[in-house]
Amino acid sequence: MDNSAGGWLPAVETFAKGTFATAAALGTVGMGLLYYGQNYLIYPSAFPSGSREEVAVPTDYNLDYDSLELQTPDGVTLRCYLLVQHKDLGVTKVGATHIDEDVDPDLTDNEFIASRPTVIMFHGNGGNHGHRIPLARVFYLKMRCNVLMMSYRGYGLSDGSPSEKGFVVDAQTALDYLLSDPLLSQTSIILYGQSIGGAVSIDLASKNPDKIAALVLENTFMSMRSLIPSAMPLLGPVSFLCHQRWDSASKIPRIPASVPILMLSGAQDELVPPEHMRSLFELVVARKGDKMDNEKVKFAEFPHGGHNDTCAQPGYWSVVADFIAGLGDRTAAKAKKAADAGGSML
């Protein structure tokens, strides 16, 4: 009996060693795939099917636009859309807000363009910027904003492959374009970011604190590493391997307290727990610096909003419109500057 039991022990020991070695090997391979393949998980630019080949254009929605090709410093071509305002837009476009009574009749069309805010739209990680044209339409027609619809590298018809480092370059390239334009550089620049686009917006504002008039952030997160345990539970134990960090929590304090921020959260968000937005808002409120106007720092939660449909919730666009309208003093100052410089505009 003892000899028989003793005979089993080496076999069990060998099996255990083999199992451990196999598990270790698979674990190593799995971690390697996670480390090197995480960009495919975080940036599903081909989803839904056809998103890299089929991109809607604003004229599909009765909107005039310019195809804007931006060349990044590292040689990537980004194929974006630019929608520029016109003074008589309320007459020529169905659904446009008539704001002519609030406009100085002596302003030229160019001066009117410069008097309106410019919104840079940074979309989420799925689909392409063409899918967000209905959102741009609200900014353009209802709020009378100029709109730059960003197409990241590796998304839509833009060249390159997506990454955090690349997106940061893309965002800066878009802002630099606006700042170099004789007309649009006179406008108040507002960043609108959804999900990962919120992280892009926060990063850009933190690096250009005196160039951004305001931020509107929807369903974004504290950091990618802190999001993984809820978004991809099986990968939670190895979230430290995530090199696409998007650490917004560390960047919010670098945005001056004088910069207004609106945060829009879907209480039923199934991808980014609403606690992320609340925690970011606490950081927003805690910013130190010159004159934070609490009236221009707002948090709006939509009880039935999910990750992808918060923007379709009742009251969402009213909150956004009121927030942008509340920037009036800043926009008015820009308008005066633009009017004074009218003779040098294109």
User: Rounded CA gap, 249 and 217, in Å?
Assistant: 13
Name the amino acid, one letter, at 265: S
Q: Of the residues 151, 195, 223, 226, which is catalytic?
A: 195
Q: Of the residues 123, 129, 276, 307, which is catalytic?
A: 307
Cβ-based burial of 5 (10 A; exposed 0-12, middle 13-18, buried ≥19): exposed
Are the CB atoms for 68 and 174 separated by under 8 Å?
no
The answer to whether 226 is a known catalytic residue is no
The answer to whether 109 is a known catalytic residue is no
Helix orientation angle between 164-180 and 196-207, rounded to the nearest 10 degrees? 60
Residues in the chain: 346
The answer to whether 307 is a known catalytic residue is yes
User: Rounded CA gap, 337 and 92, in Å?
Assistant: 27
CB atoms closer than 10 angstroms to residue 208: 17
Name the amino acid, one letter, at 192: Y
Q: Of the residues 51, 203, 269, 276, which is catalytic?
A: 269
User: Rounded CA gap, 345 and 310, in Å?
Assistant: 39
Element (H, E) at 344: none
User: Mind telling me the catalytic residues?
Assistant: 195, 269, 307
